[in-house]
Amino acid sequence: MLKERLTRRESLLQCAALGSLRLVPWLGLTQAVSALEAQERDLTRKPTQWNEIGPFYKRLAPNSAQLRAPNEPGLPVTVSGRVFDTRGDILAGAKIEIWQANHFGLYDLDGYRYRASLSAGPEGKYSFDSVMPGHYPARVCQHIHYLVTAPGHKPLITQLYFATDPVFEGDPDRNYSRDPLVMSRELVRPVTLSGDPKAIQANVNFEVVLDRL
């Protein structure tokens, strides 16, 4: 008969019983194991939810974080974040491909406007400057597509949504599923405005977590 896998707590207690986990005399076993378990839990992260790739992906986008040309219409938006794996390790060098519609809801199918292929920096950080994508008839919500890859990890295809999208009417908790493709509330991110009233701009943080292979 197959033995069920031990819980993390049971395996830590087993380690202590067999001597592979040792404690200094003033640490109580139960408390120390609970503390260790809590610390491990804090470092782990849930993988980012998958979302449709859609029909407009193109390979070989340029490695440029400046997607917004000067004077291009639309609300300027800077998206930044970090790439981790589910153990909380930073994935420096992860490849982040992004593509989106312009302010008018149009994808560039001939060239590479509003498309980029970026690399996460040494601390797993990435950032790009763009405009808030427009709505288009086939989709309910504004969104930016992501394809994130890193050696030893499952490729992630997902989409970033914006809490300020008019479709959510200010309440994405309640209304996120108005777009049937938005299956996870976690993909809808808050928007922070900065700049001054004559040059306002949006800022969005989108952390990405890849599953290990």
Q: Are 113 and 100 in contact (CB under 8 A)?
A: no
Compute the least distance from the CB of residue 54 to Fe ion, in Å: 4
Compute the least distance from the CB of residue 99 to Fe ion, in Å: 8
In the block, tokens 């690399």 appear at 119
Compute the least distance from the CB of residue 137 to Fe ion, in Å: 11
Compute the least distance from the CB of residue 139 to Fe ion, in Å: 6
Amino acid type, 35: A
Nearer Cβ to Fe ion (12/144) = 144
- For residue 108, list its beta bridge partners: none
Nearer Cβ to Fe ion (109/213) = 109
Could you give the angle at the alpha carbon of 127 between the alpha carbons of 188 and 56, nearest 5°? Answer: 65
Stretch that binds Fe ion, among 12-20, 52-60, 64-72, 115-123 (CB under 5 A): 52-60
The count of residues interacting with Fe ion (CB under 5 A) is 1
Could you give the angle at the alpha carbon of 181 between the alpha carbons of 177 and 78, nearest 5°? Answer: 90
Compute the least distance from the CB of residue 5 to Fe ion, in Å: 40
Return d(Cα 90, Cα 83) in angstroms, integer: 6
Q: Is residue 54 at the binding interface for Fe ion, with CB under 5 A as the rule?
A: yes
Q: Which residue number has the CB closest to Fe ion?
A: 54
Nearer Cβ to Fe ion (54/74) = 54
Nearer Cβ to Fe ion (118/160) = 160
Stretch that binds Fe ion, among 51-59, 76-84, 179-187, 205-213 (CB under 5 A): 51-59
Nearer Cβ to Fe ion (85/179) = 179
Q: What strand order describes the sheet that includes 156-162?
A: 115-119, 95-100, 144-149, 156-162, 188-189
Closest CA to 125 of 208, 64, 68, 48: 208
Compute the least distance from the CB of residue 163 to Fe ion, in Å: 18
Closest CA to 129 of 147, 114, 151: 114
Nearer Cβ to Fe ion (54/121) = 54
Q: Are 154 and 213 in contact (CB under 8 A)?
A: yes
Q: For binding to Fe ion (CB under 5 A), which residues are involved?
A: 54
